[in-house]
Structure 1
């Protein structure tokens, strides 16, 4: 299921293989030097670095979740962020998170990437997809609404969202 690349008008969302994840974790300098895709100095984020051990352990154990896409700008041929779906609450649901590099924010890339993943999820047999936003993060709230997530309430100062399939 994860072998699928997602394409939009401006982006390619490349599924992160175990090999690529290990290269990110262990050989980032060499990966930057050899990659045909530009990798910004600020990437991967601390969030991705913390996620990688969990991701690798799950994938090497044969778990088909979590999911991790690297967002590549077609115009710049550059990694500009990532989208992650990871198990939450004993795998009853998958939590959607995303990040766009600061130099590429507010240009529609976040919408295109998250929308592509949500469209993919709607056509899959995935369980419930959820997300959360910090109170006051209006840009993320609007993005989640535009791609079809519905606000479910507030929990511990975070708005809770669910994808309507």
Structure 2
């Protein structure tokens, strides 16, 4: 970690965009969220052919519900993952719910055409850096037992398996102090 750039706005919102070597993570607002849920690209949207997929829609619905209940939670909202090589939106990643006692949950997903290239791990590392920079101490995630790729992504990012409940497997990573 530590390879990532946090671009700060002059506004009250602390983070506008995260960048990694191959990706841009852009925090979505409710208008963009509604376009993603409706699967209707706007004039400025450049989406991969298979974006958004069902997982994106589900994740963004959760973001919209949280935004309606709690308002703008940036930087702990939902991010559109854009591949810098071609400028296409290929997935989403974000924090689920609100942080409690230094703990927050993360979820992510990629369009099928973008899978298998390490993009999810790269985006996840950027979110872990962001969580660390904002003083969080633990990030948790869960995935289904049959989602081997997601389980490997979590393990590569430093998460450890902490248990399972039916078909859901829980993971967590403990974060260090910001440098």
* TM-score of the aligned structures, taking structure 1 as reference length: 0.80
1:37 aligns with 2:46: yes
Q: Secondary structure at the match of 1:143?
A: helix
Which deviates further from its counterpart, 97-106 or 112-121?
112-121
* TM-score of the aligned structures, taking structure 2 as reference length: 0.75
Q: How much does 1:137 deviate? A: 2.4
Note the 1:125-140 alignment, pairs <5 A. 125-126=135-136, 128-140=138-150
Corresponding residue for residue 67 of structure 2: 56
* Structure 1 segments (4+ residues) deviating >3 Å: 22-26, 38-42, 62-66, 90-93
- Larger helix fraction of residues: 1
The alpha-carbon distance between structure 1 residues 126 and 161, as it changes in their structure 2 partners (threshold 3 A), is: same
Q: What is the rounded CA distance, in whole Å, between the counterparts of 1:3 and 1:149 in structure 2?
A: 24
Structure 2 residues without counterparts, runs of 5 or longer:
1-12
Q: What is the rounded CA distance, in whole Å, between the counterparts of 1:135 and 1:44 in structure 2?
A: 20
Q: How much does 1:103 deviate? A: 0.5
The alpha-carbon distance between structure 1 residues 124 and 160, as it changes in their structure 2 partners (threshold 3 A), is: same
Structure 1 residues without counterparts, runs of 5 or longer:
none
The alpha-carbon distance between structure 1 residues 23 and 156, as it changes in their structure 2 partners (threshold 3 A), is: same
Q: What is the rounded CA distance, in whole Å, between the counterparts of 2:139 and 2:65 in structure 1?
A: 19
The alpha-carbon distance between structure 1 residues 153 and 25, as it changes in their structure 2 partners (threshold 3 A), is: closer
The alpha-carbon distance between structure 1 residues 65 and 3, as it changes in their structure 2 partners (threshold 3 A), is: closer
Note the 1:75-154 alignment, pairs <5 A. 75-87=85-97, 91=100, 93-126=103-136, 128-154=138-164
Q: What is the rounded CA distance, in whole Å, between the counterparts of 2:148 and 2:53 in structure 1?
A: 24
* CA deviation map 1:12-67 (0-9, x unaligned): 000112343344456x5361xx115335454163313532431330353x555751
Residues 39 and 78 in structure 1, CA contact (< 8 A), matched pair in contact too: yes
